[in-house]
Structure 1
Amino acid sequence: MTITVPFKQIDVFTAVPFKGNPVAVVNFLETPEAEVTTQQLQSIAKWTNLSETTFLFAPSNKEYNYKLRIFTPAAELPFAGHPTIGSCRAYLEFTNQLNSGPQTILQECGVGIVPLKFDEEGKISFQAKKTEVEEISRETASDYAKALGIHAIEPPKLLQVGPAWVVYLVSNAEAVIDLNPDFNFLKQVSDKAGHTGVILAGSKNDGNSGEQYEMRAFYCPTISVLEDPVCGSGCVALLRYLQEIKNYQKTTLVNVTQGIRLCRDGHLRGRIEIDEKTSQISYHVGGDAVTVINGQISI
């Protein structure tokens, strides 16, 4: 039996089509998940050939809005940032809620329940579910630095945010943009360490505009993507890393740009939110998303 369902392609972290990071979103909200195999979902993701393709299903609990499964062309992921925002935009369109005003959406996925906010400006942000910091060995840090051809200004750390990102800071934004990694060696180091990849960031602060960074995200080649144009989970990792080394005492906004080397112009709004009463810290990433393709897909 052939199943035909709605399909969208959303450009994320941009308000200008073709300047952000695309995600394909397939709407199975009206299709029982048991009627679709993981192999079929993986085949669709391989066919779209984007960094991620997502699939909306009915949630396991009516308190949530939807369940999301996220696939690269090679494997399923527990969480990813730009697919989460793009899928939320698609969900609001599929269910005719774009004009319903600001609201909170609860996404069920591999890392649990991820809260998202659709604000009065039409931007979508998510609250990170998992932000654990781990040390990496001196040998691994040295190998990554050699593969990237960089000199870090702070010790790198491993950030578990769903994906496992190693975060490096360099002297400035220009050093980030000009970088030309040795991808073969980077693959060897990533494979050996079992990490998702590397986030590289450099400050572009002018002294007047708050925290601003240029960022690049280099994936482990085993998941078929060398560099992510604009990366939400990588931005979460950067925010958590900045809190680790700077120890902000109040809520701090961090604006991140990404994608210039890939002819993109991505803009991510980061927020390190510190509750004044409890001192609890949460990490939020958001931005614009725009639909570029509407259609159907059959399996």
Structure 2
Amino acid sequence: MKLPFFTYDVFTSRSFAGNPLAIVEDADGLSTGQMQIIAREFNLSETIFVRKPQDAANTASVRIFFPTAEIPFAGHPTIGCAIHLAQKKYKPGCAFETTIRLEEVAGLVPVKVSRIGDVPRAQFTAPVSPFAVEVAAPAREDIAAALGLSASDIGFEGHVPGVFKGGPAFLYVPLASREALARARVIEPHWSNLFSGLGTRMAYMYTRGGDGADTAYRSRAYAPLDGIPEDPATGSATAILAAQLLAAERLAAGTHRWKLEQGYEMGRPSDLWLEADVADAKLLAVRVAGQAVQISSGVLEL
């Protein structure tokens, strides 16, 4: 069996930045075990497998894998795959606007893709409106020990740690400064102990500001227990961050927009755009946007 594959750098407009992604086409004949082995072979944070859609009105059915396990939804595979499939429909250099509809395990994900200029841009609507998980967040002292920080580094203004979910779940850790964010690192056994009973093994740290004048937050994401020591850009965590921001800032009704930076500390600068529609102190819709560039292509031989 020979399967075409492509790699993209996602949430960036230039090569060798952003978050690398592997896309495997014609994956209908693959078993779950084979997909997992291939994802482990690529050893990227995520690999997405493209299959024929169950509903002809949609573009494709996809499955997404960490090196260690399948996940129901992820942002950077959704953005990268949608851009890849959209570009196949149009001649190089031609401007376009289209909608790619991806059947993911978490649900149907519509993605608006456009290309005006050289680098395409995509925006997905999260398939699940993010919400707070009814579990007590770890104590600040325990989080600080797991990140090599002090308890005073944890939290700022109305932002406190919490667990939120929207497909996957994340422990959200607001940090008081960019200096603390830069110092944060995984410390065992405190890290593994931190996630007992939380329903997630992934943490997303963020603080105000960034290199860009229009950047609202700088972030980092760690999931070493899932084979991802640090993720350069985490679209799903960015989408779910809307629920954390809703709780922390008591967002008013209307549409809110934020630019976020991630991956800068690890030399893979990534830029993400988050939008959230709010009414009556509830999230109505959450959208995440970014760019992507193709890096390589080839054939898998099974």
TM-score between the two structures when normalised by the length of structure 2? 0.87
Q: Distance in 2 between matches of 1:138 and 1:132?
A: 14
8 A Cα contact 1:177 1:260, kept in partner:
no
Counterpart-to-counterpart distance in 1, 2:239 and 2:98: 22
The residue that corresponds to 1:53 in the other structure is: 47
> Which residue of the partner structure matches residue 287 of structure 1?
290
Once the two structures are TM-superposed, the CA of residue 139 in structure 1 deviates from its matched residue by 4.5
| SS class of match (2:111) | strand
Q: Does 1:15 align with 2:19?
A: no
Whole-angstrom CA distance in 2 between matches of 1:11 and 1:290: 5
**2:163 is the counterpart of 1:163:** no
In structure 1, the partner of 2:106 is 111
Which moves more between the two structures, 124-133 or 10-19? 124-133
Q: CA deviation at 1:184?
A: 3.6
The alignment of Structure 1 onto Structure 2 pairs a total of residues equal to 290
Q: What does the per-residue CA deviation read over 1:77-103, in whole Å, with 9 as the maximum and x for residues that have no partner?
A: 111111111111222234447746111
Structure 2 residue aligned with 1:125: 123
Q: TM-score, normalised by structure 1?
A: 0.88
CA drift of 1:45 comes to: 0.7
Alpha-carbon distance, 1:187 to partner = 2.1
For 1:215, the equivalent position in structure 2 comes to: 219
Can you list the C-alpha shifts for 1:193-230, whole angstroms capped at 9, x where unaligned? 33131111100179x956610001111x3311121111
Q: Percent of aligned pairs with the same residue?
A: 28
Following superposition, the deviation at residue 283 of structure 1 comes to 1.1
Q: 1:66 aligns with which of 60, 70, 76?
A: 60
Give the Cα–Cα distance (whole angstroms) in 1 for the partners of residues 296 and 257 of structure 2. Answer: 32
Say if 2:276 and 2:283, in contact at 8 Å, map to a contact too: no
Query: Shift in Å at residue 179 of structure 1?
Result: 1.9
Displacement of 1:296 after TM fit? 1.6
Find the counterpart in structure 2 of residue 93 from structure 1: 87
CA distance in 2, matches of 1:42, 1:180: 28
Distance 1:239 1:183, change over 3 A: farther
Letter in 2 for 1:23: L
Corresponding residue number in structure 1 for 2:244:
241
Report the Cα distance in structure 1 between the residues aligned to 2:9 and 2:109, rounded to whole angstroms.
20
Deviation of 1:233 after TM superposition, in Å, equals 1.0
Equivalent position of 1:136 in the other structure: 135
Q: List gaps (5 residues or longer) in structure 2.
A: none
Task: Give the unaligned 5+ runs of structure 1.
Answer: none
Q: Could you tell me which residue of structure 1 aligns to residue 70 of structure 2?
A: 76
The DSSP-based 3-state class of the residue aligned with 2:20 is strand
Alignment of 1:192-271 (within 5 A): 192-204=197-209, 212-219=216-223, 221-249=224-252, 250-271=254-275
What residue identity is the alignment partner of 2:44? L
